[in-house]
Copies of this chain bind each other. A is one copy, B any other.
């Protein structure tokens, strides 16, 4: 299967794609016909290799320690502000970049539950990504909190009414994902935040599976805290730094327990006692990787140029096309759509379940088709709006069809 054999339909969708010109901005590789895992690891931009080399040669190698006084010290907030402006709907001074999503989630949850120590419950989704549940299990164990798990329908988002039924005067925090990692179901952040706030609870949102692909309005939605990763639709590279948002008026009341010097008020005062930075830097601990932030900077510029609304529009067209192909080509073999049918409830990936999928990845890789596998029997087709073509979607689903034929 190659792009040359794309149907007229895929080709005409690509021809009509107003964002099609962005595809050439990314590194591509000959042995991958359809990369459908940009939601696990986005492709590098074509400028990224040279950007990294230049950074090492002229910034690190050329400025040496002086680089810290010439901008690196502020890089976590500067890149954070850009994230806020371009993809998070957040005004400046509320986003910081560093650590990993798990670490920042730990800090965010610890800060959230400390706001009112008389509240002893944390609400989460039983279907959330493992790290979210694991981190919460750890926090609950050390602080003696009770976890209240909402059973979201496997293919659906977390319903505000389910949250309303779970929260109460004992709820310290509600911790949920904007887009579900397996089904791509969207949870209504604004509505759930309002429900939590009505019960006097704080919210912590994990945006890992939405940021860069869906419009986000953290300030407008009244969110308290949020975290997310930058290696999916933000194309930051394997293990790229995460980000944390905290609402401006809340920051002075938020304390996190890992008191490193980079989060201190005056790191180089070498003072006797830790005093947290007055602003969002209080969520930093150690020295963040400046090298690892470089790819993200370029990608944010590209997203800014394309515009998040246009990106979301293409994402909807991509997943709608994928669902159509799944219905036409895979459903006859017994495959089942495990993502919402309503495009408005669906993030930027499409998951399909079939008993033959657990062993299918090697064969698909040999065909140059790279989706993701998610237990127990799902293939997850991640459609990264700026780098994925309709032809790739078609090539991918056709290859899956061919393998189902072989498996039959």
In the assembled complex, the Cα of A29 lies from the Cα of B67 at a distance in Å of 14
Q: Is the CB of B60 within 8 A of A44?
A: yes
Specify which chain B residues have a CB less than 8 angstroms from the CB of A130 in the assembled complex: 261, 264, 267, 270-271, 274
In the assembled complex, the Cα of A288 lies from the Cα of B241 at a distance in Å of 8
Q: Is the CB of B292 within 8 A of A289?
A: yes
Task: For A235, give the chain B residue with the smallest CB separation.
Answer: B60
- Oligomeric state, in copies: 2
By size class, the interface of chain A is 35 or more
Nearest-neighbour CB distance to chain B for A320, whole angstroms, equals: 24
Task: For A141, give the chain B residue with the smallest CB separation.
Answer: B257
In the assembled complex, the Cα of A17 lies from the Cα of B338 at a distance in Å of 66
Confirm or deny: A334 has a beta carbon within 8 angstroms of a beta carbon on chain B: no
Task: For A127, give the chain B residue with the smallest CB separation.
Answer: B270
Q: Is the CB of B56 within 8 A of A295?
A: yes
Contact with B along A7-51 (1 / 0, CB 8 A): 000000000000000000001110010010100110110001110
Specify which chain B residues have a CB less than 8 angstroms from the CB of A29 in the assembled complex: 61-62, 64
Q: Is the CB of B292 within 8 A of A102?
A: no
Most buried by B among A44, A55, A272, A370: A44
Specify which chain B residues have a CB less than 8 angstroms from the CB of A273 in the assembled complex: 134, 137
Known: A100-B99, A102-B260, A103-B99. A289 touches B240 (CB 8 A): yes
A281-315 residues at the B interface, CB under 8 angstroms: 285-292, 295
Nearest-neighbour CB distance to chain B for A399, whole angstroms, equals: 16
Specify which chain B residues have a CB less than 8 angstroms from the CB of A2 in the assembled complex: none
Confirm or deny: A335 has a beta carbon within 8 angstroms of a beta carbon on chain B: no
Specify which chain B residues have a CB less than 8 angstroms from the CB of A138 in the assembled complex: 257-259, 274
Q: Is the CB of B60 within 8 A of A102?
A: no
Specify which chain B residues have a CB less than 8 angstroms from the CB of A270 in the assembled complex: 129-130, 374-375
Specify which chain B residues have a CB less than 8 angstroms from the CB of A355 in the assembled complex: none
Confirm or deny: A54 has a beta carbon within 8 angstroms of a beta carbon on chain B: yes
Known: A61-B44, A64-B37. A100 touches B288 (CB 8 A): yes
Known: A134-B274, A375-B270. A239 touches B53 (CB 8 A): no
Known: A100-B260, A289-B240. A40 touches B56 (CB 8 A): no
| Chain A residues at the B interface, C-beta cutoff of 8 Å | 27-29, 32, 35, 37, 40-41, 43-44, 48-50, 52-57, 60-62, 64-68, 72, 98-103, 106, 129-131, 133-135, 137-139, 142, 229, 231, 237-242, 257-262, 264, 267-274, 285-292, 295, 365, 370, 372, 374-375
